[in-house]
Amino acid sequence: MNKSSSILIVGHSNRVESSIFEQLSGSKLIVTTMDDFLDELKSQNPDIIFFCGPISDIEDEELVKIAHTQQRGRITICYRPQWEDGAIIHFKNNYGTNVFLDDESLDDFGPIVEKGLQLARYYHEREGLFKKLKSQNLELEALTVNLENVVEERTKNTLDQKQEVEEGVNKIRGVIRFVKELSSQVALEETLLLIRNDLKRFHKINQCILAVSDYNLNNSLYYYRRGSVVDHQAQMRWSDIQMIRINSLDDQKYLADELGMPIGQVISVSLGGAEPAKDTPMPVLYFEHSMTFDEIDEFVDYISFRLQAISITVDRILLQNEVRNVSYMWERTFDSIDNPVAIINRDFQVLRANQEFFSRSKSKYCFESIAEADEVCQNCPVEKAVRTNVHQGDTVLFQNKSYEVHSYPIIDRASQAVSAVVNHYIDMTEANELQGLLVQNEKMSAIGHLAGHIAHELNNPLTGIRSLAQLVLEEEPLSETMRSDLTEVEKASARCQNIIKNLLEFSSDKETSEEQVASLSEIVEKTLPFLKTAMGDFRRDIRLLEDGDEIRCEPQLLQQVIFNLINNACQAMQGSGELSIVESIEDDVVKLSVKDSGSGIDSANLERIFEPFYTTKEKGQGTGLGLSMCKRIVESYHGKIYVKSELNVGSEFVIEFPKVNKV
């Protein structure tokens, strides 16, 4: 039996007590009276209650009822030596008594008590379990409360973190949107407006000023005023800053002095970026404001996320402006070159050219543009420059002009091969014409020196011979033979003097300030003596006017034209043929025709016969400058020159001048 079991005995009965002591010697027996029953019940909490005394009145019955109520689940035993009829039923129904004993059944007390103690132990264990469960429930409730607090706290932290993340995402989205908008800006004015609009959330930002210096060392302050951005050319340079400078009095004073208006507190932000040119300040953003320190911290944090993008954009725009300026200056320089210049690739395609080059044609290939040809120009140095990787030059003829073409190879850095060629076309037409004129003048000068020397050496003897012949002719008597011979001597002397005079005039380098009025026939007659060798044994038909053929010209230059035309006609006939020199007047126009019966000129060459450097003569016999100079001289006197020719029949060159009427 469990030593901790206890039995509360209410009342007194010797027989009962002796029986209990015999059978339940291991249990704790507590004996009390009805008066002390409730106190003992509360203090002892027995496993079994044994009423062994008489229950005589209502109060006793109430005690039994209380015992049953408080000791629910435990055995309550009532003992009487003998139970009256109906008493057991009464106790069961009214007081819930479990066991009833009398003297006859008292011997069964032991097993009943053992069963009651087992039931009590069960209830003790159950109550212990209930208490444990209750304690665990309390702990669980406390744990649940703690968990709920933890969950609530963590939920709050999560929500706070989520809000922070959302704010961060929104901030990043704002930066991305700002960067996208910045990337499309092409002007500093637009960039400043974008920055200004992005800072609208900061109501205490009064003015946004962008200070930049371009590559030409022009310092500019861009700021917003009256609905537009003003570009102020700064007289003084601003001071450099490392990162951010807050409320600097120096910055405030600088802006006020430069812009000529009051400036409040200023936050200065360096844009950093590319290394500026020497003596050039770094770009700076100035923000005039009236913010508190907390608001300044928020603003600095906000603008810091945008600084790199703003710096890159400002550098990009400045670089693009510089590229445009350099490109514009390069194009202006390129276009200011009077001669054609072009960049040509290895396939003769024009990559870039100046206006002078494209003034001819904007074709794909250089030879199409410059020469209007279908194939590469003869002697073109581009191929040589590509092949040799060094500068090449040559002379190319096209479009009535002579060009000295210089090809400068452009080397690709990666492959070290020639990727393109710069062609510089120098128009040598006028220089060559001047060279031809210089050669002609040198020839005429040599002839002049020779004529002067001849005149000096021959004029005096010829004058003596002529004078002596004239004196002898005046003497009498002379035979007819003598007179005839002396007359021929006098005429020959006069003719020699005229030849010397004409030679001096033909070779004269005297410059006349005004055109002269001269007879075309006289000019022809003075020229013919110099062509006696050239005309040789050709049949001649020379018909010149005696009067009324005055024109305005420079006789010496016109002599050269006539000399050239007659000499060309003689060369065209190659030893035999007929030379015709005929002068006429039609409608106040004096004409001179020089006609030969030579090989003629092919019709394909007639249109180009007066072009510089164009000649039908064999190589070494002509420069192609003679007829072009003749044309220039004739047209300078408001005259015309043209040619008629038929192959294998002959050619006729005609010059025409306006007739000058005598007053």
Quick: pLDDT tens for 233-278: 998 889 888 889 999 999 999 999 999 999 999 999 998 765 655 6
Q: How large is the average pLDDT for residues 534-554?
A: 89
Report whether 428 contacts 437 (CB < 8 A): no
Q: Is residue 463 part of a domain?
A: no
Given a cut of 90, is residue 412 above it in pLDDT?
Answer: no
Residue 507 reports pLDDT greater than 70: no
Of the pLDDT bands very low, low, confident and very high (cuts 50, 70, 90), residue 620 is very low
Over residues 374-392, the pLDDT tens digits come to: 788 777 888 888 888 888 8
Q: Is residue 371 part of a domain?
A: yes
Q: Do 223 and 80 fall into the same domain?
A: no
Residues 251 and 352 grouped into a single domain: no
Q: Of 129, 148, 171, which residue is a domain's last?
A: 129
Residues 326 and 268 in one domain: yes
416 Ramachandran zone, left/alpha/beta (phi>0; psi -120 to 50): left
Write the CATH number for 563. 3.30.565.10
Residues 244 and 364 in one domain: no
Question: For residues 24-36, b (16+ Cβ closer than 10 Å) or e, as one string?
Answer: beebeebbbebee
CATH number, domain of 71, equals: 3.40.50.2300
* Same-domain status, 540 and 661: yes
CA separation, residue 194 to residues 110, 208, 259, 267, 298 (Å): 104, 11, 22, 18, 20
Of the candidates 366, 398, 427, which is a domain's last residue? 427
**Residue 166 within a domain:** no
CATH of the domain at 363: 3.30.450.20
Q: Say if residue 200 is in the same domain as residue 324.
A: yes
In the numeric block, the tokens 């208006």 are attached to 261
Q: What does each C-alpha distance from 372 to 338, 362, 367, 377, 381 come to in angstroms?
A: 20, 11, 6, 10, 18
Residue ending a domain, among 281, 308, 331, is 331
Read off the amino acid at residue 294: D
**Contact present, 485 and 518 (Cβ < 8 Å):** no
pLDDT at 513: 39
Q: Give the list of residues 6+ apart from residue 379 with CB closer than 8 angstroms, or none.
A: 394, 395, 396, 405
Which residue type, as a one-letter code, is found at position 661?
N
Q: How many CB atoms lie within 10 A of CB 400?
A: 13
Whether residues 634 and 657 share a domain: the answer is yes
Q: Which amino acid is at 98?
A: N
pLDDT at 434 over 80: no
More confident residue, 649 or 275: 649
Strand order in the sheet with 578-586: 539-543, 578-586, 589-596, 650-658, 640-646
Are 251 and 359 in a shared domain?
no
One-letter amino acid for residue 33 of the chain: T
Least confident range from 195-209, 417-431, 572-586, 637-651: namely 417-431
From the list 85, 88, 89, 83, the residue with the least C-alpha distance to 104 is 83
623, pLDDT greater than 50: no
State the angle between helix axes of 58-70 and 87-95 in degrees (0 to 180), rounded to the nearest 10: 50
Compute the distance between CA of residue 95 and CA of residue 85 in angstroms, rounded to an integer: 17
Please give the pLDDT value at position 524.
Answer: 92
* Statement to judge: residues 525 and 623 lie in one domain: yes
Query: Residues 651, 600: contact at Cβ < 8 Å?
Result: yes
In a domain, residue 66? The reply is yes
Question: Does residue 507 belong to any structural domain of this protein?
Answer: no
For residue 217, the domain's CATH number is 3.30.450
Q: Which of 148-157, 247-256, 339-348 has the lowest mean pLDDT?
A: 339-348
What is the average per-residue pLDDT within 403-429? Answer: 84
Q: What is the pTM of this model?
A: 0.47
Same domain, 322 and 359: no
- Whether 434 is in a domain gets the answer no
Amino acid at 254: Y
Beta bridge partners of 398: 401
Which residue segment(s) compose the domain that 567 sits in? 515-663
- Per the model's pLDDT, the better-predicted residue between 622 and 121 turns out to be 121
Residue 243 sits in the same domain as residue 380: no
What is the per-residue pLDDT for 612? Answer: 66
Count of beta carbons in the 10 Å neighbourhood of residue 45: 13
Indicate whether 212 and 306 sit together in one domain.
Answer: yes
Kindly calculate the radius of gyration of the chain based on its CA atoms and give it in whole angstroms: 68
In the prediction, which pLDDT does 1 show? Answer: 43
How far is the C-alpha of 341 from the C-alpha of 334, rounded, in Å? 8
Residue 285: in which H helix or E strand, if any? strand 284-289
Contact (Cβ atoms closer than 8 angstroms) between residue 188 and residue 222:
yes
What 3-state DSSP class applies to 386?
helix
For 573, phi and psi rounded to 5 degrees? -90, -15
pLDDT attached to residue 2: 47
In a domain, 462, yes or no: no
What does the pLDDT read at residue 291?
A: 94
Q: How many domains does the chain have?
A: 4
Q: What is the DSSP string of 12-52?
A: --HHHHHHHHHH-TTSEEEEE-TTTHHHHHHHH--SEEEE-
CB-neighbour burial class of residue 116 (10 A; exposed 0-12, middle 13-18, buried 19+)? buried
Beta strand 578-586 pairing with 539-543: parallel
Residue at 660 is within a domain: yes
Is the separation of the CB atoms in 560 and 568 below 8 Å? no
